[in-house]
Amino acid sequence: MPEVLKAPLVVEFPFTRSLGPVQSAFLTGLRERVVLGVRTRDGRTLVPPVEYDPVTAEEIRDLVEVAPTGTVTTWAWNHEPRRGQPLSSPFAWVLVRLDGADTALLHVLDAPGPDAVRTGMRVRVRWAEDRVGAITDIACFEPYDGDPAQPTGHSGEFEAPVTGIVAPARLDYTYSPGRAQTAYINALADRRAVGERCPSCRKVYVPPRGACPTCGVATSEQVEVGPAGTVTTFCIVNIKAKNLDIEVPYVYAHIALDGADLALHGRIGGIPYDQVRMGLRVEPVWTEGGRYPDHYRPTGEPDADYEIYKELL
Amino acid sequence: MTAVTRDIAVVAFAQSDVLRSTAEQSEVEMLMPVLHDVLDRTGLKTGDIGFTCSGSCDYLAGRAFSFTLALDGVGAWPPISESHVEMDGAWALYEAWTKLLSGDADTALVYSYGKSSPGSVRDVLTRQLDPYYVAPLWPDSVALAALQAQALIDAGDTDEPALAGIGARSRATDNTRAQLRGSVPQGDYVVRPLRTGDCPPVGDGAAAVILAAGERARELCSRPAWIRGIDHRIEAHGLGVRDLTDSPSTRLAAEKAGAFERPLDTAELHAPFSSQEVVLCKALGLDGNVRVNPSGGALAANPMMAAGLIRIGEAASRIHRGESDRALAHATSGPCLQQNLVAVLEGDPR
Ligand SMILES: [Zn+2]
């Protein structure tokens, strides 16, 4: 078996989320070092506050301040902090029921070791220095042996309340393309386009994905196709993609390589964008060291007859 | 369930080996042999299937729309009646079951797969959490399960040796598809109080089930596993609102599925962490007369998005083979048993 191809793949995205009135008040409160809960009709105080009663689904808006001190209801010792977690040295995950609240808040506790943590221990909020209106405005909790702090009875009304959060997310993967695409990519490195034929319907797929989507069976017979092909359809791109060093407008096309039963896509160059047409005959253009064609350019042959490629649109 | 108008059964089940890595295969390459296997068991072809439903999650392997590529393995042309859930395949089975109940189809193919090896599943799963109050803290799946385990220990429901015993009993299975079998060291703390042996192995795998209604089921299987009821329920999403030592949603789903109407002989529970089996057994009132997880359960193999469907498939297979007459199958999703599905399966009297 050939060596498995691998490449790092990073999926990174900032989620911009708007806040409802209760979430806005809670997160703005954290910015101002005030912890707010929300009262349900039956008199329970939920911290962190939600906008709908988890039992009755009733809309709830009655904000009430609770103390920044509280009691650990359960904990778990994390000796190996992971990326993104609030503390970089070992810490305890904790659920904390703040004084005045009936439910518990998930956060972390800065403690010297697991022997210093127990359910029922008293803790207080350690505020972050820079606070923006986010759950991370609580830097962490810390052990506390004083009396419950007294809330000031804050109304939940603030100047310049936060109305949204931006939650960055990043996940790291090691991408492997699988058997069929590995063979395709390896052949491309030798400047050859190699598809796979379905044993049932005999269609040749380029690039191959390992299965015939019509028949639901594995493809395996390798078939070299191209290098030239026919533009079956195309579009003109007028918006410059981020990090893409190509002048707009340019043409992106479906190209049926000779011998293939499925069109692949690629950029068309070497011809003004407004002269590209269906049936145009093209060939790949390779750059030095490139593992795939940089683009396709006209071969100069007469255009292909529509009848030849009409099934490949 | 109140008025089940049509008898529907699991008539076939197939699954892949569950492996730590399947880097040499794409998702469809991993899935396709399982689809062929399950169809071969009934003699059906794709074109004979009335409805197809799948469960998977693009975040696991970081591949957008991977479920559409996986559909290549089904052979979806001419166009088939098809649906997908971004959930465990057990919920895809639920959708297929309702489709058959409605009379729109007589047979259904349900499949699911998960390829966790390209990413770090502990971190990937943080992205399913409340995006305002929880996800920004990146609490990984083991950390959240550990909070639940500590709550159980504090409540006197279990202790660390008992948890270790659950892992050891699970992996004593003879299931050749399982990723971990036999004696595995309990290991160090991953997040205390959970040790390596309390946590599921991370693995890639796929599973598929065929459902059929009424006489069609009897034609396709000598002893169909009749679905007497299925229900799924969810807890409040705030972890601090819940009693983590109990699972009222599982109990309610089981009640609605008819689990408590007559004794069970087998339960296939989807408990990714040893401590969660304690919660589930407590919620379901399972006693020593019920054989729990003869397949090894999720502590022996936990391919994400497939492990719940596998519980239903394993329970059904035991009925097919005459090793069970009435079995409960459970699937879970989300942190600390957030959402739970219960199916009750029965074989015809022997
Ligand atoms: Zn074919």
A285 to chain B, any CB pair closer than 8 A? The answer is no
Average of per-residue pLDDT across A138-165: 93
pLDDT digits 0-9 by tens, B60-82: 999 888 888 898 899 888 899 99
- Res. A1 pLDDT band, cuts 50 70 90: low
Scanning the structure block, which residue is given the tokens 């050859």? A192
First to last CA, chain B: 25
Is the dihedral angle over the CA atoms A78, A83, A85, A86 positive or is it negative?
A: positive
A270 to chain B, any CB pair closer than 8 A? The answer is no
A17 to chain B, any CB pair closer than 8 A? The answer is yes
Q: Choose from A28, A42, A78, A219 for mutation: most chain B CBs within 10 A.
A: A78
pLDDT digits 0-9 by tens, B208-224: 999 999 999 999 999 99
% of chain B with per-residue pLDDT over 70: 99
Residue B166 makes CB contacts below 8 A (sequence gap 6+) with B198, B274, B277, B278, B299
- Chain A stretch 63-82, residues whose beta carbon is closer than 8 A to a beta carbon of chain B: 73-79, 82
Q: Which domains does chain B have, with CATH numbers?
A: 8-119+202-220 (3.40.47.10), 121-200+225-346 (3.40.47.10)
What's the B75 CA to ligand 1 centre distance in angstroms? 8
B21: closest chain A residue by CA? A176
- Chain A positions touching B63 (Cβ under 8 A) are 175
Token pair in block for residue B25: 């295969």
pLDDT of residue B78: 86
pLDDT of residue A159: 95
- Chain B stretch 119-158, residues whose beta carbon is closer than 8 A to a beta carbon of chain A: 119-120, 122-124, 126-127, 131-140, 143-144, 146-151, 154
Count CB-CB contacts under 10 A for residue A139. Answer: 18
A95 to chain B, any CB pair closer than 8 A? The answer is yes
CATH topology of domain A226-313: OB fold (Dihydrolipoamide Acetyltransferase, E2P) (2.40.50)
Token pair in block for residue A304: 């292909």
**Contact predicate A213/B77, CB 8 Å:** yes
pLDDT of residue B195: 98
In 3D space, the residue among B149, B140, B143 whose CA is nearest the CA of residue B245 turns out to be: B149
pLDDT digits 0-9 by tens, A172-228: 999 999 999 999 999 999 999 999 999 999 999 999 999 999 999 999 899 999 999
Task: Report d(CA B206, CA B209) in Å as an integer.
Answer: 11
CB contact (8 A) between residue B72 and residue A209: yes
**Contact predicate B37/B208, CB 8 Å:** yes
- Res. B1 pLDDT band, cuts 50 70 90: very low
Task: Check pLDDT > 90 for residue B252.
Answer: yes
ipTM over 0.85: yes
- Chain B positions touching A30 (Cβ under 8 A) are none
% of chain A with per-residue pLDDT over 90: 85
CB contact (8 A) between residue B139 and residue A167: no
Domain boundaries, chain A: 7-170, 226-313
Q: How far is B300 from chain A (nearest CA, A)?
A: 24
Residue A54 makes CB contacts below 8 A (sequence gap 6+) with A46, B236, B237, B238, B241
Burial degree of A52 (CB within 10 A; 0-12, 13-18, 19+): middle
- Res. A2 pLDDT band, cuts 50 70 90: low
Task: Report d(CA B12, CA B37) in Å as an integer.
Answer: 9
- Chain B stretch 4-23, residues whose beta carbon is closer than 8 A to a beta carbon of chain A: 23
% of chain A with per-residue pLDDT over 70: 99
- Res. B4 pLDDT band, cuts 50 70 90: low
B186 to chain A, any CB pair closer than 8 A? The answer is no
CB contact (8 A) between residue A216 and residue B72: yes
pLDDT digits 0-9 by tens, B115-153: 999 999 999 999 999 999 999 999 999 999 999 999 999
Q: What is the CA radius of gyration of chain A?
A: 30
What's the A205 CA to ligand 1 centre distance in angstroms? 9
Q: Please tell me the pTM assigned to this model.
A: 0.95
Task: Report d(CA B321, CA B64) in Å as an integer.
Answer: 39
pLDDT digits 0-9 by tens, B19-76: 999 999 999 999 999 999 999 999 999 999 999 999 999 999 998 888 888 988 998 8
Q: How far is B71 from chain A (nearest CA, A)?
A: 7
pLDDT digits 0-9 by tens, A31-45: 999 999 999 999 999
Token pair in block for residue B173: 């299975």
Task: Report d(CA B112, CA A153) in Å as an integer.
Answer: 52
Residue B17 makes CB contacts below 8 A (sequence gap 6+) with B176, B177, B179, B205
Task: Check pLDDT > 50 for residue B2.
Answer: no
pLDDT digits 0-9 by tens, A95-112: 999 999 999 999 999 999
Beta strands in chain B (DSSP E): 8-15, 51-55, 82-85, 107-114, 189-191, 194-195, 205-213, 225-234, 266-268, 291-292, 326-333, 339-346
Count CB-CB contacts under 10 A for residue B330. Answer: 31
- Res. A240 pLDDT band, cuts 50 70 90: confident
In 3D space, the residue among B90, B325, B187, B192 whose CA is nearest the CA of residue A109 turns out to be: B192
Q: Of A106, A176, A180, which has the smallest distance from its Cβ to B139's Cβ?
A: A106
Scanning the structure block, which residue is given the tokens 């979430």? A23
CB contact (8 A) between residue A171 and residue B119: yes
Task: Check pLDDT > 90 for residue A242.
Answer: no
Annotate A240-256 with DSSP letters as a single string.
Answer: PPTT---PSSEEEEEEE
Annotate B283-348 with DSSP letters as a single string.
Answer: HHT--TTSEE-TT-HHHH---TTTHHHHHHHHHHHHHHTTS-SEEEEEEEESTTS-EEEEEEEEPP
Task: Check pLDDT > 60 for residue A21.
Answer: yes
- Chain A stretch 159-178, residues whose beta carbon is closer than 8 A to a beta carbon of chain B: 165, 167, 169, 171-178
pLDDT of residue A3: 76
B237: closest chain A residue by CA? A54
